Every structure is written in C-alpha cells, then in structure tokens.
Structure 1
Amino acid sequence: MIELKKQLLDNPEHIRELLEEYDFHNIKINSNEIRCGVEEDTNSTSVRIRLEKSLKASDFGRDYHGDIFSLIMTLKDVGLGEIIKTTKDILGISFFEFNKKERIFGGFYDSIKKRKTSELKTLDNSILDNFKNKYNALFTKDGISLETQKKYQIGIDFDSYRISVPWFNFSGELVGIEGRYMGDYKEDEVSKWFPIIAFPKSMCLYGVSFNYNHLYEAKRIYIGESSKFSMQLDTMGIQTGVSLGGNAIHREQIKQLSWLNPEEIVFCFDEGLSEELVNRQIEKTKLMTKYTNIKVGIIRDPENKFLPKGSKCSPTDLGKERFLELEESYLEWR
C-alpha cells in the first residue's frame, strides 16, 4: 500500500486516471493537492487529495476523512481489492514489494527482515464461487448476522463439512480459506478450525480489506484472536475490529497495524490466556510502535465478572451490551 501510494505520487496524472475510473468529476491537479467532485453536478471542490506520501483525502461535503483508497471505498461502494487491482493496472504493474529502501518510522523497520511477496501467494477470487452465498445458522447463533456473513463472503464447503472463511491480504487479495467445522468437533474428534486452503495467517490481519475505510486512521482498533471476533464486532456496528488468527501477534501484523495509523489499539484476547503470553504480545507491539503515537491497551476480566472462568470466551461472545460494559470496566492502558 505504501509503495502504491509512492508510485501514484510520483505521477499525479495516475491519480487523475484512478479518480476518473471511479467516476469522479472536474478533477484539477494543483501543486500540493487535487480537487474534484463526487458527481458531475455536485460541488467540484468538495473532495481534496493532498499530494503527500500518505495521500490523505477528504470529502468536506460528507465530512469524511481518510486516504485515497478509503475515500473511494466509502463514496463509490467499491471493495479494497478491486481498487488496488485498478491502481496496479493504471501503474502498469502486476505485483509489487514494499520498497526496501523506504525508512518507515525513523528506520526502525530497516532492522526487520523483509518477507518477499511470493511467500504469501494470492489466489483467484473465482475460487470463492464454490462456497459463497451459502450462509449458516451456526454463525448466526455466534452473533454474526447474515448481512455480515455476506459482507465477509462466508460460505460452506460441503466436502469438508466446514464453514468457509476467506482471508485477504492488506491489499485485498485472496490468500487462503479457513474452515470452521459445522458438526460436534469434540465428539467427531476433529479440529474446530482447519484450513480449506492453507496460508500463513501470521502475515495477515483478518478484516482489514472489508473495513479499510473505517480502520485507516481510526480512533481505536480492536484486536481479537478468531476471525469471528471481527465479524461479531461488525454485526454490532463496530467496524474497527481485526483478528490475528491465533493468540500471538507477529511482526508483519504489527507493521500492518502501524500502516493503518490508528490513535489506539486494544487487545481483546480470549478468556484464560496466560498473563505471561498476554504481556509478551503487548511488549512486542509496544516495541515495534515506539516511534509512533499509538496507545496500546488491553481489555481483561481478571475477576471473571463477565467471562466465565475456563470458558475461553472472546470479549465479543456475549453480545454488544456486555462487550461495552467490559470495555468500560476493564480497559487498561500499558
């Protein structure tokens, strides 16, 4: 995403092409900004895109602020993956790596071994045609509405008897599919979650591609373990939840959180996780974000007032009212 913005900034005419592709009008490129209108007959200067590295964008008519990608998502109701693909087509590139010479946050990330893009292979979205539009009552009982299931492209893989949950990378490209067993996994002695198409979850943050326009420069991002955490929050109307796919946060995931540039990030680990493991994840995150102004917090229930002891419940499992009560009572800043 950073490299795409850099290449767009190197030639603002490419930004014009991107805006024209999504039917923005009266586009005018100035020395430090681009102005345009959302529709042909609306205010021709209501949208401003600043020609600086983050390509911050605002629609003053609707009081929306984000970056160029989140702006297009919000105003034109387009998915992030489609916007990224269109941008790559305009730039004439089929793939890209993050610029190894770019010094992010004072060069701190220069010391981190860069992973090649090839390590996270992308898949054709047509794979999802085998699963999509087959919603299920199991997720509904877990507090995930049919609307959210449709948004997150949930389906069913009848071959493995699992709910299919597709994962997308930071750029909105399909990278894998995990499956949630629909039967009694304990009685049948099978894994509750098992990959339908395996991929390294440590390189992804679940939920970003669906809610990038809400996550970018958000006031607060919530971080949970399972993919259903992000979906449960979305059903509650809270569109700033991401999931790790486990109980540990990895360097690539922390980097992606930093790129979103939130004011605060709040961990929401499942009940019963050891204090030692929790502290290790928080310290790792604080170390890698120390050159930012991001506050790091955690929602805990040390007395098991809300989350029953031994339940391994997520803070979102008990519904919106209880989640907000838990946040109000037990949010700690570290």
Structure 2
Amino acid sequence: MDTQELKERIILEEKIRTVLEELGMHSIKEHSDYFTCGMPDGDNKRSTVIYKNNLYVDAHTRNIRDQYGVSDIISLVTFVRGTYFSESVKWLCDLCGFDYYGNQQEQSKLAKWVRDMWKSSSELQEDEDKPLEPIDESILNYFGRYANPLFYKDGISYETQWEFHLGYDLAFHMITIPIYDELNSLVGVKGRLYKEVIEEHESKYFYIHPCSKSKILYGLHKTMPYIKEKNEVIVCESEKGVLQLWSMGVKNAVAISGHILSKTQVQKLTHLNVPIVIAYDQGAELDKEGKVDKNFYRGEFAKFLPQQELYCVYDKGGKILNPKESPMDDPNKWEVLYANKIRIR
C-alpha cells in the first residue's frame, strides 16, 4: 500500500487513537487538531504530539526521524517497535484492517504529484505502478526443491540453492528462483534456462510468475539480520550475485534484478540505515583524477541522500575481471575488489 494512501485512510477512518494505544503510548489525550501522549518508556505525558490532518509527529524527547528526515506515524511505529520501514507499514495495515498488498484506491493529488516527480523512465514507472501481489506458496510444490550442477559450476553451493528454495520447471526446462519480498511473502518465480550456451533467439531469464521487480530487493527476507550485524548492505544486479556471495559466507547482500535502481529500491536501501556498497557487474569508471564518475550508471549514486554513506566495488582499468564477468563470479577476485572498494561519499 502506498504510504500516502495509508496515512489518508488512518486519518479518514479515525484510527490514530487505535495506533497509539496498540503502540503502548500512555496518557493519550485528544485535542481539536492533535493528540498528545507519552512514550511507552517515558514519564512525560505530553512528550509526543500527533497532528490529525497529516500525521506529523513532534517527539520532544526522542529523535524518531527516519533517514529522509520524516517524522510521522510510520517513523513513530518504526522507533517504538524497532521494525524495518516495510514491517512498520504492514503492522499499521494489519492493525487498521487494511490490505497491505491490495490494489490502491484512487490517489490523492499530493500522492500523484510525488509519484510523478520520481518518474525516470517509462519502463521503470510502469513497473513501479504495479502492486506486489503474494502468490500461494503451494505453487513451489510443482517445481520441487532441487539443486543443480549448472549453478554449482557458477559458484553457488548446493546448500545455498537448497536454502533459497531453488527448483526446476520441467515444462520450460528452467531453474526456478522463488522471489520473496522483505516480509517473506512469495511474490514471483523467475526461471533460468537450463543451458550453458544460450542462443541469440533464446531468453536466458524469464519470469514464470511475474512480479513488480522494481519493488523488490531480492534476498532481503534472508539477509536482513546479516545486514544489521555487518552494518552494511552489498547491492548486486542479479539474484545470482546474492547466491554466489552467500555461498562464500558473505550474507549481507541484495539484488535489484536489473541495471538501474528504482525509486522504491532506493527507499528500501536507505531505510536499512547502513552504509551501501554498489557492486554491479561492470566496475565503476574513474575520471582523470581517479574519482568515481558521478554520471556512471545514469546517476545511480545521485539517487541517494547526500548524507548516505556510499561505496562502489570497481575494477580499475579492467585488470581483474574478464569481459562479462561479474565481481562475484570468482571468490578470489571478489576479495580483491571488495578490499579495494572506493568510497563515493
């Protein structure tokens, strides 16, 4: 559910008190334009103010602002419950009886304006507009749960393949890769043609059960604890990169399933509140001064907040990686590339 729609529905259906009570806020008192209350572990009865018209939260004694500087009812939930942004949104939806994955209602003018401001390409926007929809996990029974020697040769251990529920589609002769969102809901199934040599007319990858890939950070449902533990997230292009790194024991990675970060993926990475390491298949180009070109990958780095700690894995001069080789294909090369990652800011 769009966060703007969520807040609008909380306001219209008068769910503010319900949210505050369920959070454990105390001394809740309603005024004409706002609510006052105290934090669950605080003594001040008026330390927190929630405004009715926009759900802005003024927390006098705590800094509840998220990475974007937002202080609203979602950031309040995140602060009090210690949850990830998406988990906070899902919690609010469940509490208020809204469908987290449901089709959005007609957007407000403000929500539409914000969405239009983020348009970067028609293809990305079209995918962004598609809601995520969970699918029945029983579908995975059709594909089974099998490890395969093709991925094993590419550095993905049999144990990793089993851990990530890889299977096989007999009809299309494809390795199946279940796609989960960060809330551990199955939202799609991607297939990889079971051939080492792919003909020009063939598609190497194909979505057997399509999903809005621009809204997914592949692997986050498993790698979240390790991202928090390492205080860092590594961003790969493909699902395969996450699986290869996991096989090496590097478990704090996600994939964007493409070459360009979407607005939603940038937001989800930012809300992790950890340093970000971009590790795309092609190393970053350096300018004459040895600094990373800010125009690289159509301004990928510029999509993040100025205060975001950001790094890039690169192959300076193309001396390490072979053509079409990703940084994760060879464990030894990965160690060298990662050790020499460059800080963007």
TM range (shorter): 0.5 to 0.7
Larger Rg over CA atoms: 2
Partner letter of residue 311 of structure 2?
A: G
Contact 2:128-2:215 at 8 Å conserved across structures: no
Are 2:341 and 1:322 equivalent residues in the alignment?
A: no
Give the corresponding residue for 1:269. 280
Contact 2:101-2:133 at 8 Å conserved across structures: no
Give the corresponding residue for 2:100. 95
Structure 2 residue runs of 5 or longer lacking an equivalent are 25-37, 43-63, 65-74, 120-124, 287-291
Give the corresponding residue for 1:61. none
Give the corresponding residue for 2:142. 130
Q: Which one is further off, 267-276 or 169-178?
A: 267-276
1:154-303 to structure 2, matched below 5 A, reads 154-187=166-199, 189-216=201-228, 219-262=231-274, 264-271=275-282, 279-281=295-297, 283-290=299-306, 293-303=307-317
Partner letter of residue 289 of structure 1?
A: L
Contact 2:90-2:100 at 8 Å conserved across structures: no
Number of aligned residue pairs: 278
Structure 1: how far apart are the matches of 2:152 and 2:170?
A: 18
Give the corresponding residue for 2:50. none
Structure 1: how far apart are the matches of 2:16 and 2:166?
A: 33
Runs of 4+ that moved beyond 6 A: 1-4, 6-9, 83-88, 97-101, 113-117, 272-278
Taking structure 1 as the reference length, the TM-score comes to: 0.66
Say if 1:12 and 1:125 are closer, same or farther in 2 by CA, change over 3 A.
farther
Contact 1:222-1:267 at 8 Å conserved across structures: yes
Structure 2: how far apart are the matches of 1:316 and 1:221?
A: 15
Say if 1:134 and 1:33 are closer, same or farther in 2 by CA, change over 3 A.
farther
- Structure 1 residue 317: deviation in Å? 0.4
Structure 1: how far apart are the matches of 2:16 and 2:218?
A: 26
Contact 1:88-1:94 at 8 Å conserved across structures: yes
Structure 1 residue runs of 5 or longer lacking an equivalent are 17-29, 35-49, 58-66, 71-79
- Structure 1 residue 185: deviation in Å? 4.0
- Structure 1 residue 90: deviation in Å? 6.0
RMSD: 4.3
- Structure 1 residue 122: deviation in Å? 2.4
- Structure 1 residue 117: deviation in Å? 7.8
- Structure 1 residue 162: deviation in Å? 0.6
Identical-residue share of aligned pairs (%) = 26
The residue matched to 2:175 in structure 1 has which SS?
A: strand
Contact 2:175-2:192 at 8 Å conserved across structures: yes
CA offsets 1:174-227 (integer angstroms, 9 cap, x no match): 221111111244358422112212223222111111222233585221111110
Structure 2: how far apart are the matches of 1:14 and 1:53?
A: 10
Taking structure 2 as the reference length, the TM-score comes to: 0.65
Contact 1:161-1:181 at 8 Å conserved across structures: yes
Say if 1:207 and 1:218 are closer, same or farther in 2 by CA, change over 3 A.
same
The residue matched to 1:167 in structure 2 has which SS?
A: strand
Partner letter of residue 270 of structure 1?
A: D
Say if 1:272 and 1:55 are closer, same or farther in 2 by CA, change over 3 A.
closer
Structure 1: how far apart are the matches of 2:16 and 2:228?
A: 18
